Amino acid sequence: MKFLDQAKIYVRAGDGGAGCLSFRREKFIEFGGPDGGDGGRGGDVWIECVDGLNTLIDYRFQQHFKAKKGGYGMGSNRSGAKGDDVVLKVPAGTEVLDEDGETVLADLTEVGQRIRFIKGGNGGFGNAHFQTSTNQAPRRVNPGQEGEERWIVLRLKLIADAGLVGLPNAGKSTFLAATTAAKPKVADYPFTTLHPGLGVVKVDGREFVLADIPGLIEGAHEGIGLGDRFLAHIERCRVLLHLVDGTCEHAGKAYKTVRGELEAYGHDLADKVEIVALSKIDSLDKETLKTQLDRLKRAAKKKPLALSAATGEGVREALRALIGVIDEGRAEELQRGVVPEPWHP
């Protein structure tokens, strides 16, 4: 299945049905009076967060979604039927943005969340509604109201507790494959990861979700390489694991390159808790390892971890550092009683 994390679609609620112009006509009833019913309400557009989806591929080939129009009113004071609703099913972590792609209208983060995004038009009044003491046979009816319509952007942000960042070929996919059941593509050339990936990590009897995104290079915020759009998938993470390739020319410069791209991207990504680790240490001799660790420590201004996903050395220590930050974040949320706020159209 192709990974699609953004889609622009058009949604329209149903129009209300028109009211009916009708008079009661029965034998031996000379002045039956008006009996035109009201039109039915147009269908609404709902957005629902469901389980079993992890991409927006359903909106790749269909971009227009229209609810049904309400039924017309009928004689004998019969109201028209309500139009059928349209339900857009999206994966957890989907944001609904305005047409400009910036204004967030709704954020669905939990399976089961369901919002009525736009309402259908009200049905028009039939002529029975306009009967008065001075107008016993009104010939006036209302047309149904038009349903709301708009273009919106659906943007998926993967929900993960921790995220992997680093330059291309820093060992992120190898780390994900070594610590989870995920099977990302692993090769010895840059940009082997073209789409974000998720995996569930189990450490010390606890679990957390780890996200891997394509590598960043200098100028990614200007669209160089694969750009920085995939950074949206780690915006929800509590902690970042920054992997720096130990076999690169200068670990400190590599670290600063990625940090520069995180700061250029914004969205408070550079302010997240960061754990720095030198990867691929199995390929380094002792002298080179010490030199690279010193360079990385000066650049990050903190003591980095050293690990090798290929041999497993230092991996458990890194996972424990991640779960420690995640547990603290979860405890703070429980203390504050953080719950998702309902959205009202």
Is 310 known as a binding-site position?
yes
Is 168 known as a binding-site position?
yes
Is 247 known as a binding-site position?
no
Is 283 known as a binding-site position?
no
Q: Name residues whose C-beta falls within 8 Å of residue 325's C-beta, 6 or more positions apart in sequence.
A: 162, 238, 239, 273, 275
Is 15 known as a binding-site position?
no
Is 192 known as a binding-site position?
yes
Is 217 known as a binding-site position?
no
Is 21 known as a binding-site position?
no
Is 308 known as a binding-site position?
yes
SS3 annotation, 36-78: CCCCCCCCCEEEEECCCCCCCHHHCCCCEEECCCCCCCECCCE
Is 195 known as a binding-site position?
yes
Is 323 known as a binding-site position?
no
Is 171 known as a binding-site position?
yes
Contact assessment for residue 234 and residue 213, using Cβ atoms and an 8 Å cutoff: yes
Is 302 known as a binding-site position?
no
Name residue 49's beta-bridge partners. 90
97 sits in which H/E element: strand 94-97
Is 117 known as a binding-site position?
no
Overall size of the chain counted in residues: 345
Is 167 known as a binding-site position?
yes
Is 169 known as a binding-site position?
yes
Is 280 known as a binding-site position?
yes
Is 172 known as a binding-site position?
yes
Is 194 known as a binding-site position?
yes
Is 22 known as a binding-site position?
no
Is 284 known as a binding-site position?
no
> HSE of 174 in the Cβ direction (CA atoms, 13 Å)?
22
Contact assessment for residue 325 and residue 275, using Cβ atoms and an 8 Å cutoff: yes
Is 98 known as a binding-site position?
no
Q: How far apart are CA 344 and CA 228, in angstroms?
A: 31
Is 224 known as a binding-site position?
no
Question: Which amino acids are annotated as binding site for GTP, given as ranges?
Answer: 166-173, 191-195, 212-215, 279-282, 308-310
Question: Which amino acids are annotated as binding site, given as ranges?
Answer: 166-173, 191-195, 212-215, 279-282, 308-310
Question: Which amino acids are annotated as binding site for Mg(2+), given as ranges?
Answer: 173, 193
